[in-house]
Structures are given as C-alpha cells and as structure tokens.
Amino acid sequence: MWRGARYVWMVGLCVSPAHTAGAQDAAVSGRVQTAGTAVPVASARVELLQGAMVAYSGATADNGRFDFVAVTPGEYRLRAGAPGYFSIERDIVLRPRQSMQVIVELPLQTLAEQVEVRASAPQIDPQRTENSRVLTARRLETLAAPFTGDVPALAEHVMPGAVLGHDNFVHVRGNELSLHQFINGVSFLDNAHQHFIAGLSPRIFETVNLVAGGFPAEFGNRFGGILDVTTRSGRTLDGHGAAVMRAGSVGHRDGAVDYGNSAGRFGYYVYGGASGSDRYLNPPEAKERHDSGHIVRGAGQLDYQGDRNLVKLFVAGGGSRFDMPNTVEEDELGRDATRSIDSQTAILTWQRTFSASSLLSTSLYERTVFDRLHPTSDPQSPLADGSRSTLTVGVKADWWRAVGTHRVKTGIDIAAVRLREGVTFDPRDEHDEGGPEASHRSAPTDAGDAHEVELDAFAFQGRQTARSYGVYLQDRFSPLGNLTLTWARALIAGSSSAPRPS
C-alpha cells in the first residue's frame, strides 16, 4: 500500500549565476581573462589551495574556461597565473552543493617587479537565495567551547530559530532541534534529540550549512530546516590534531581528541570524546536527586582520492547513560530507574567524475538506534521496563550534468526502516494509599470528585516496517547574463506495514 505520495514543484528566480553541484560536493568554474579586457587567457594555471597544499589544479582551455567538480566544501585560496601575467590569489568559502562561478582577471607584466594581488570573498554570498549560514572548521575553532559542545548548542548560537521546535514539542533538556541532518549528502528519517543521545560533535565538521528556508528539490520533504554537514578528511589536516578538556559547575566535565593525516591518496581521520554531568536532566525539584549522566562518542573517516574516483567511508557511534531524576519521596524509597541510548551510523560513498561537466555520486547508508529504560530496583515504586530500536538502511544516487548554461541534477533515494518496541508496566498497587505511588493510581473524573483509577499491569511487544522513496529533477540555468531561473520537481512516497504485536 502506498502512502504519503507528494509532488513538489519549485520555480525560483534570482539575479546571480547560481548552480547546483553534484551530491554533497561543491564545484568551482569560471574564466581567466586579461585585466581590463575580455580577452581570454589560455593555458593559465589555476589552483585551489588548503594551507600550503594544492588540493585541486588545472589549466584553462583556449576560451579561458576552467572547471573543478567534486570539490570538498570548505575554505580555499584560489590562485591563478600565466606566463607574461602577474599571479593573483583570492580566498573563497565553498558551501555544500554550491557551484561557484568566478571571473579571474590577470594583470599584464608591464612592471619590473611582480605584484601579488589578494582578495577575499564577501561575507554575504549573492549566489544564495535561501536563509542559511555556513561555518567551516576554521570558523568553528574560533567559537567559544560551550557553543561547539553539541549540535543544539551550535544551532542556538548560530541560528536560534532552528531550535524552537516547528511542532512546539518541548523536551526536559530544552526545545527540540528541528533541523534534519544531512551527513555527506545522506539524510535519515529519524530526528533524534541530541541532548539525549550522544549525537555528532561539531569538531568533526569540515563545513556545516544551516538552512532555514528556500530548500532546493534535492532536500525532499525536509521542510523543518536543514543541517547540511561535510565531515573532516585527514587529507586536509596534514598530520595535525587537537585535545581539549573543560569543566564547569554542577559536576560538568568533557573532553575530546581528534587527529587526521594522509598516506599517498588515502586520508584518515579519527575523533573520540566524552562528557558527564551531575545534572543531566532538569530535575522535578530544585535540588538534584539521582540525576547524573554521561556520554561517550566517536567518529572516523577513511577516504581515497583518485584521478576520477573518490571513495569515503564515514562511521560514527556513541552511547549515553543517565539517571531518571527523583522527587524527595521517590529518593526515600530508593527509586533508581535509569535510561541508556546507543546509536551507530555508517555511510559509504563512491563518487565518479566522468568529465568537467558530468558527475555521479552513490551512497549506501545505515543507522541503528537502541533506547532502553531500565526499571528501578526498589520494591515499591511503579515498575517500567521498555526498549525501542530502529534500523534504517538505504541507497542514494545523484547525477549532475552541465549543458551550456544549464545545470541539471537528478537523484533517487530509497530507504527502509524497521521499528521494534516493547514495554512492561506494573503499578504495584499493593502498598499503602498514602505513598507517593498514589498519584499513579488515582485521578479526578470531574471537578470536586476524585475517584481512584486502578492502573492494570500490562506488557507489549511489537514490530513495524516502512519504506520511503524519493525522486527529484531540477535545473538551474541563466538565460540572460546574471538572471538565473530554477525549475524543479520532486516525488516523495512511502509504504508501511501494519504493527505486529507479539
């Protein structure tokens, strides 16, 4: 049975040559010409540098054109030069999926000395029409440590409106994070609240783009907001890493370490971190009682950069353990219920560059989340024992093609989700009416008249599966100079099985 089929039509208009790059990666293309004229410079050397390392390089064609596709988003210095001309350098920041168009003007060598010209890209990108904010690894390192502890803290600082839940759900550890995560171009249907789970650390981000509106069709039905992440590669770190530690009030402490390097065409990056707090959740009373918790998480990426192929494997996982806070009465009874949440994510991506105008990216992805409520060991408090686990597997493919001024992109995303859930509850009504458990066993039926409502013990075990299918087609083209039009169509559909209790 098909459910939830949705067609999305999008037509956009902006005054800039904005195009879409393939998959998660960006693209840089443009023209090298003689300064003050429109005369193209053939065989000019164009390079993209990260630090002292040349990440991408090439030569211009007879018409002065150059193209770099499948460029990892981040900060670069664009350098261009040719015999008889002075070289120039320009600092640029590439967002995920951005296709930057640049005009490079080389001054003729009419002086006895060489002059180096540098320019910086503007902070406001005229090529972007959506409401977004991009941060690079270098920018994240300049933020205060509390802002980069986890994703919700980062979003609260950079884009506060994204943390106020679009469905007005409020969690005891703060408002719901309404941003859907895209990790290396892959999204997941679950929207886990990262104050509870270990989640991702902003330290593993090479770039992160927070998008709050104006979504292209390739984002599908993710209309609550986008967290578009590109993870770090060891090829950009050149044998560097960092270790950080901090401590605060209420027993808060955390630390992290990461390192990245390369060996030939291979790059590797590893990250590990842990945190703890004596006030993990907001307690029901001012004083913390049975309210400690801790988080452990790790991530790693292995990638291979060939002449036309890029292969990368990203894995991340972590676990959180925390107490369920007590009232004074619950503490006196010895209530010691706890909760644990474990998660694991893996994404394998293969990207093939057929030419400067054609690119295919394919990803296989998987995520598991296991949530367990551990019952109290005291003999009087109501007993609750539950578990919930999800398994998501899928495949995603994107194909990008440049034809003249057209930038055509199409893709497909197929995912399957399996949910298992079980709960056991025992109110344990046999003890005294005056105990704290009375509130669990009675409730007023109407004003001024309270009748005891007995809660029966019950147990449930169930399983359900669902599938999601998404297809999109979009085209951005410039019919008149700086005038850019966007046309897109997307289909999102799905099917699910009926719950099967056991």
pLDDT tens digit sequence for 130-176: 567 788 888 888 888 778 878 877 877 777 665 554 444 444 445 45
pLDDT in the model for residue 334 = 92
pLDDT in the model for residue 296 = 95
Q: Are residues 206 and 72 in the same domain?
A: no
Chosen domain end from 70, 101, 120? 120
Q: Residue 136 sits in a domain of what CATH number?
A: 2.40.170.20
Q: Are residues 158 and 260 in the same domain?
A: yes
pLDDT in the model for residue 251 = 85
pLDDT in the model for residue 129 = 46
- Residue 448 falls within a domain, yes or no? no
Altogether, the residues listed in the chain come to a count of 502
In order of 177, 251, 284, 317, 390, the CA distances from 341 in angstroms are 17, 21, 22, 11, 12
Chosen domain end from 63, 93, 120? 120
Instruction: Give the up-direction half-sphere exposure of residue 72: CA atoms within 13 A in the CB hemisphere.
Output: 26
Q: Are residues 299 and 221 in the same domain?
A: yes
Distance of CA 476 to the CA centre of its chain: 24
Q: Give, as one character, the DSSP assignment of residue 494.
A: E
pTM: 0.77
| Mean pLDDT of all residues in 86-100 | 83
Q: Cβ distance 261 to 267 under 8 Å?
A: yes
Q: Are residues 200 and 309 in the same domain?
A: yes
| Mean pLDDT of all residues in 21-47 | 81
Q: Residue 58 sits in which domain range?
A: 21-120
- Structural domain count of the chain: 2
Q: Which of 91, 73, 65, 93 is nearest to 22 (CA)?
A: 73
| Mean pLDDT of all residues in 26-40 | 86
pLDDT in the model for residue 306 = 86
Query: With b meaning 16 or more CB within 10 Å and e meaning fewer, what string describes 343-381?
Result: bebebbbebbbeebbebbbbbebbbbbbbbbbbbeeebb
Q: Are residues 217 and 171 in the same domain?
A: yes
Q: Are residues 150 and 44 in the same domain?
A: no
Chosen domain end from 120, 145, 179? 120
- Residue 249 falls within a domain, yes or no? yes
CA distance 181 to 229: 7
Identify the weakest region by mean pLDDT among 206-220, 242-256, 337-351.
Answer: 206-220
Given a cut of 60, whether residue 502 has pLDDT beyond it is: no
CA distance 252 to 254: 7
Helix, coil or strand: residue 245: strand
Q: Cβ distance 20 to 97 under 8 Å?
A: yes
The whole-chain average pLDDT of the chain stands at 79
Given a cut of 50, whether residue 22 has pLDDT beyond it is: no
Confidence tier at 490 by pLDDT (50, 70, 90): confident
Q: Are residues 188 and 106 in the same domain?
A: no
Confidence tier at 119 by pLDDT (50, 70, 90): very low
Q: Are residues 115 and 179 in the same domain?
A: no
Q: Are residues 97 and 170 in the same domain?
A: no
Confidence tier at 209 by pLDDT (50, 70, 90): confident
pLDDT in the model for residue 438 = 45
Q: Cβ distance 160 to 204 under 8 Å?
A: no
Q: Are residues 101 and 143 in the same domain?
A: no
pLDDT tens digit sequence for 411-421: 899 999 999 99
- Residue 436 falls within a domain, yes or no? no
- Pairing type for strands 449-452 and 406-426 reads unpaired
Given a cut of 70, whether residue 91 has pLDDT beyond it is: yes
Q: Cβ distance 383 to 375 under 8 Å?
A: yes
Q: Are residues 80 and 193 in the same domain?
A: no
Q: Residue 105 sits in a domain of what CATH number?
A: 2.60.40.10
- Residue 40 falls within a domain, yes or no? yes
Q: Are residues 215 and 354 in the same domain?
A: yes
pLDDT greater at residue 76 or residue 433 = 76
- Residue 442 falls within a domain, yes or no? no
- Residue 141 falls within a domain, yes or no? yes
- Residue 343 falls within a domain, yes or no? yes
Q: Which of 70, 95, 75, 93 is nearest to 210 (CA)?
A: 95
pLDDT in the model for residue 11 = 42
Identify the weakest region by mean pLDDT among 69-73, 404-408, 448-452.
Answer: 448-452
Residues ≥6 apart with Cβ < 8 Å to 279: 250, 251, 252, 288, 291, 292
Please give the structure tokens belonging to residue 232. Answer: 């770090």
- Residue 376 falls within a domain, yes or no? yes
Handedness of CA 352, 354, 356, 359 (dihedral sign): negative
